Chains A and B, each alone.
Chain A
Amino acid sequence: MTADSPTVDRSALGVPRGWRGWVLLNLAVFVIYSIAGLVVFVVGIGAADTSPIYPPSGIAVAAVLIFGPRVWPALWFGNFFNGAPLFWAPDTSLLTAIVANIGGGTAAVVEALGAAALMRRLSGTWHPFDHAYDAVIFLLVASIGGAACAAVIGVGTFWLTGVTPTDQWFITFVTWLLADAAGIAVFGPLVLAWYRERPFLDRRLAETVAAVSAAVLAIAAVAYATGYPIDYLYLPVLLWAGFRAQARGVTFAAATISAVIIVATAHGIGSFVGKTDDQSFLLVEGFMAVITFTGVLVVAVRAQQRAAEIALEAYNRTLEQRVAERTAEIAEKNRLLEEKEQRIDDDLSLGRTLQAAILPTDFHSFERTSVAAAMRPAYEMGGDFYDVFRIGEKRIGLVVADVSGKGVAAAFFMAVARTMLRDVAMSGAAPADCVARVNETLCTENPIDMFVTLFYAELDEETGEVVYVNAGHCEPVIASTAAGARLLARTGNPALGVIPGKRFDARRFTLARGETFFLYTDGVTEAFSPEGALFAVERLLTVAAAEAGDPPRELLLAVIRSVDAFANGAVQSDDITCLAVRRAGA
């Protein structure tokens, strides 16, 4: 398909239907066919008034390609009457003339149907303008094949009827073959191009037609005036017409050039005048073959290129559109993701607030004991917790715990453990029993296989007696100004949530007046320096010993400061929790 001129599909045109339509169609084709035949008769060259080109053949092939084989009667009668001069020819009987023209009509029908069938069968299309291959099939195979059929039938009949003498049959055959082939090659595409492309005539096409006509006549006039063989000048005109107006331009130019050189040759002007008429015929036909082939092939190749360019452009557009669509999709997904992230952040931040809110921070109600506590999660929500609560009149419950894992799941596990332990302890149960009951619950209601290490102690404010259970937790520190800092060894109890039905051992010791009991999680002792070293228990003991005489709040802050100084900007990988309790001095 050419890009510059819209083309139509055969079936889109209103082809007449019914028998009336058929008659009208055939009449129309008959008239056009006959007019073309009349032109040949008028401008014919030589003794027999024949022509080196027979345009009716091209019109016939185009008509069959466009309307189908049903136009055969128009072709048959058209050619029959084109042979009318035979009726007046001397030495020819009426019967001979009729039989010869029946042969001629039949030859025309077979030629047109044969050429159209070859074109359709071999190229799969009905015109030669879109692909170089189609052009070759039309101009070489269909035209010569069709013309050969016509020449065999026509010359055969003429010879049998005696119209063509035996010694003339070969030259008649060659003339017939070449004239018909040239007619198909030059005038077939002309009709097809005009039929195929719309609008029928626009400004650009009209300009091309006018310019081509003028140029061709000018060249012919110069050739006539000077007598120089300048027929090669037609070639640029032909190519220009093809580039400017595609198939219609090039077929018009080819037909015009053909007509002009035939007329010129008939008058003995130009490069194609031979010693005999037959030589002139061959020279003219050779030139027509060259220009038609060149012109139509150029148009077809150009159309092929355009089609490829258009396909490429369309592909690029599709590609660009796809990229744009994908980009938009990704942007939308990112937006949703950001929204989601924001919601999660909000939730976590709320969770952190709630988590911090359930940890006690006001310890003023304890008169004989000073308490300080802090929890700093490594992530939004921590798995550590501490708790301080009163049990009866004179005892204080102290808890520090570390849930395995971090984040929301750990925070939930922590909330359950913390609430249960507080409830059970406040009801007055012994520490070992409290811990055992929490363990039981955590073992049975533990869908995600977590556990918690926990240190639970009950401090008697009066006597300083501490009853404690260490369930797999790290060892607390006892700090005094007199004896320095020491660790309270583990007792062999496992973490909670691991062994169902486990009994826990409680131990006891006495916290002297002025001594500080420091509970923590291993986020303290296993904080890292940028070099990868551990803070370790030894450093903790050093800080605790140095701060033993200060209020628990000072000791606690000193520990955290020391850990931060040690970490020196390294990312905190675990929650850090501290709880310091000091008995009032003597």
Chain B
Amino acid sequence: MELNESQVGNTLVLRIVGRVDSSVAKQLEEKVRDLIGRDSRIVVDLSAMDYVSSAGLRSFLTLAKGARAKNQRLALCAMRPDIDEIFDLGGIKELFEIFETVDAAATRLT
């Protein structure tokens, strides 16, 4: 897994590249917490995430709970269909704001 930060307009975008499983779950959680500390609105770009394991789903769940508890906005965008299905079946999707594209997320979040 690789994590790339960028700025789209006023919004901080975190792009996840590769696989998310238990070996990188901690790293992902820490990164998102760090970003949220700087900006309370974060868009996670999933267009390049090609696998998420059960432990990976737990990480997203942890992040969603954390963001809700602190009134921060964490949006997912550009999910591939297979990932979308995994999130859907894992009961994760309803915890996030979900957008088709990074731009849509950036526009709507501001």
Q: Which residues of A contact B (CB under 8 A)?
A: 402, 404, 449, 451, 453, 471-474, 489-495, 498-499, 522, 525-526, 528, 532, 534, 573-574
How many Cβ-Cβ contacts under 8 Å join chain A to chain B? 69
Contacts of B86 in A (CB 8 A): 490
Contacts of A574 in B (CB 8 A): 22, 55
Contacts of B57 in A (CB 8 A): 472
Asked whether A449 and B66 contact (CB < 8 A) given A489-B89, A494-B91, the answer is: yes
Name 8 A/B residue pairs within 8 A (Cβ), A-sorted: A453-B54, A473-B54, A494-B91, A494-B95, A498-B61, A525-B53, A526-B55, A534-B53
A196 to chain B, nearest CB (A): 72
The answer to whether A491 touches B66, judged by C-beta atoms less than 8 angstroms apart, is no
How many residues of chain B have a CB within 8 Å of chain A?
22
Known: A453-B58, A499-B94. 8 other contacts (CB 8 A): A490-B91, A494-B90, A495-B91, A499-B95, A522-B22, A525-B53, A534-B21, A534-B22
Contacts of A490 in B (CB 8 A): 86, 89-91
Asked whether A532 and B95 contact (CB < 8 A) given A474-B54, A522-B53, the answer is: no
| A525 to B57 CA separation, bound complex (whole angstroms) | 14
Asked whether A532 and B62 contact (CB < 8 A) given A490-B90, A493-B91, A525-B54, the answer is: no
A504 to chain B, nearest CB (A): 9
| A139 to B91 CA separation, bound complex (whole angstroms) | 100
| A453 to B89 CA separation, bound complex (whole angstroms) | 13
CB of B92 closer than 8 Å to a CB of A: yes
Contact indicator per residue, chain B 42-58, by CB within 8 Å of chain A (1) or not (0): 00000000000111011
B19 to chain A, nearest CB (A): 9
| A301 to B89 CA separation, bound complex (whole angstroms) | 92
Q: Which residues of B contact A (CB under 8 A)?
A: 21-23, 53-55, 57-58, 61-62, 64-66, 69, 86, 88-92, 94-95
Contacts of A573 in B (CB 8 A): 22
Contacts of A453 in B (CB 8 A): 54, 58
Q: Which 6 A-B pairs have the closest CB atoms?
A: A494-B91, A490-B89, A522-B54, A474-B54, A526-B22, A472-B91
| A491 to B90 CA separation, bound complex (whole angstroms) | 7
A313 to chain B, nearest CB (A): 54
A533 to chain B, nearest CB (A): 9
